[in-house]
Amino acid sequence: MEGAGLAMKPVIKVAALCGSLRRASFNRGLIRSAIQLCDESIEGMKIEYVDIAPLPFLNTDLEVDGKFPAPVEAFRQRIRGADAFLFASPEYNYSFTGPLKNAIDWASRAPNAWADKPAAIVSAGGNFGGGRSQYHLRQTQMGPNINLVSESSHDAGVILRKLGG
């Protein structure tokens, strides 16, 4: 039988997070482009946008009996289920944004949902293409043990292929 015995190639699931909550965000535009690029030209990889807007501000008082608020549980599940991450990170005051830090912190609460998975950063906007936000984001990821690819290219194709190993 044709194809019998051939193992299906697993699909690498990439969760894409945007640090901007605004509707016309350039950085969310980057994620849309990455999704399109991936669908058209990278076999074996699927990028899914994960919205961080529903997350409340992190407050450990909201963790009750080992449970997180519903939007946080849902978010953590998406992060746990992903194989890799793509961060689209605008620059706010020489750093990355509060909403993105909030999202990283929620998913880092034990058991850490990020650990040992690869990630890449893209950025747009401002007067330096969001470059300074990338430096701070890199430092932050030492905490939750996210493995950032070394590429700091603005070429999404290069970055995405690195994520796939």
Ligand X SMILES: Cc1cc2nc3c(=O)[nH]c(=O)nc-3n(C[C@H](O)[C@H](O)[C@H](O)COP(=O)(O)O)c2cc1C
Give the tokens for residue 147: 């493995």
Q: Which is nearer to ligand X, 103 or 113 (CB)?
A: 103
Residue 108 lies near ligand X (rule: CB under 6 A): no
CB of 129 to ligand X, least distance (A): 8
Interaction with ligand X in 24-43: which residues (CB under 6 A)?
A: 25-27
In the block, residue with structure tokens 């939750």: 144
Among 9-17, 46-54, 68-76, 92-100, which window interacts with ligand X (CB under 6 A)? 92-100
Q: What share of the chain is helix, strand, coil (3-state, %, to 5)?
A: 35, 20, 45
Rounded to whole angstroms, the Cα distance separating 25 from 36 reads 17
Residue 134 lies near ligand X (rule: CB under 6 A): no
Residue 135 lies near ligand X (rule: CB under 6 A): no
- Is 118 within 8 Å of 84 (Cβ atoms)? yes
Rounded to whole angstroms, the Cα distance separating 40 from 123 reads 21
Task: Please give the residue ranges that form the binding site for ligand X (CB under 6 A).
Answer: 20, 22, 25-27, 90-94, 125-128
